[in-house]
Chain A
């Protein structure tokens, strides 16, 4: 059922056009990468502040408020372009170990961000070591998503 729907999307005129045109996929991949640049920069700023090693002139709450619209916009770009890239060759991605790993770590990163990190943003509690651990886990998870994405090109 779901697979049929994916297949139907993958054969839609828009996706076929992107897949078959010379610069279609590179353009979508570029959007993906621009979005990643902004999204991960916002996450890095929060992680550095949470760990207390950078951006210490501002409060975590203020930083989060400033970055939120840009991070959400970037996340939307990454998600939409990511869906298009996936639909370009769904069979290839579903058979790819790094892709499945990437999606797993992505889920973990999102859950960790909204479940754990955001609590530190709104209340700023906890010992210094705890904040460093949370920042470290956040940065590791998000960059692991990126590395797994890169690995799709090199690992079956």
Chain B
């Protein structure tokens, strides 16, 4: 079976149909997906702004990471589960959609970006923790994160117009 064939099959499984045909289940899942944005992406944005030296400047960066980013660990699982459910109900339509494909690529980039930050810049955070902004490499990570997350939101919102 091709990937497209699989997506179309997925969209028509009884499980997927029970969501897309329910008058309240689909809006509930979609609404949760959108309203979990502040708790997931919003928290990361605050940390990005701290690294860039644009907010929370007069405190240690590691404290922002500990206090703020930890709430995104509640937000992102909600995003992931609701996102997968939304995909399952519209997999056939999503497959060929340029905005959906772009969104997936951007999410992959964000994953790589986060791993790079964890491996390269996180271990040395103590050295610049109190600096008003992070060293240039970490700032590049933060700037990328900010821009690409905006791209993800734009793709997600635009995608919904095309189904």
**A and B from one assembly?**
yes
| Chain A residues engaging chain B, CB cutoff 8 angstroms | 23, 25-27, 29-30, 33-34, 36-45, 48, 54-58, 62, 66-67, 69-70, 143, 146-147, 150-151, 153-154
A36 touching B157 by the CB < 8 A rule? no
B130 interface contact, C-beta 8 A: no
Give bound CA distance, A57 to B59, whole Å. Answer: 10
B31 interface contact, C-beta 8 A: yes
Interface locus among B33-41, B82-90, B117-125, B133-141: B33-41
Q: DSSP majority for the B interface?
A: helix
A–B complex contacts, Cβ < 8 Å, 17 sampled: A26-B157, A27-B158, A34-B150, A34-B154, A36-B38, A37-B37, A38-B42, A40-B38, A41-B41, A41-B46, A42-B42, A58-B59, A67-B46, A69-B55, A70-B49, A150-B27, A153-B27
Partner pick for A146 among B34, B67, B154, CB 8 A cutoff = B34
B27 touching A154 by the CB < 8 A rule? yes
Closest to B99 in A: A26
B142 interface contact, C-beta 8 A: no
Give bound CA distance, A58 to B63, whole Å. Answer: 10
Q: What distance in Å separates the Cβ of A53 from its nearest Cβ neighbour in chain B?
A: 10
Partner pick for A37 among B30, B38, B59, B161, CB 8 A cutoff = B38
A55 touching B67 by the CB < 8 A rule? yes
B39 touching A44 by the CB < 8 A rule? yes
Q: What distance in Å separates the Cβ of B64 from its nearest Cβ neighbour in chain A?
A: 9
Within 8 A of A (CB), among B37-68: 37-39, 41-43, 45-46, 49, 55-57, 59, 63, 66-68
B71 touching A54 by the CB < 8 A rule? yes
Give bound CA distance, A150 to B30, whole Å. Answer: 9
Give bound CA distance, A143 to B161, whole Å. Answer: 23
Partner pick for B46 among A36, A45, A56, A153, CB 8 A cutoff = A45
A41 touching B158 by the CB < 8 A rule? no
A57 touching B63 by the CB < 8 A rule? yes
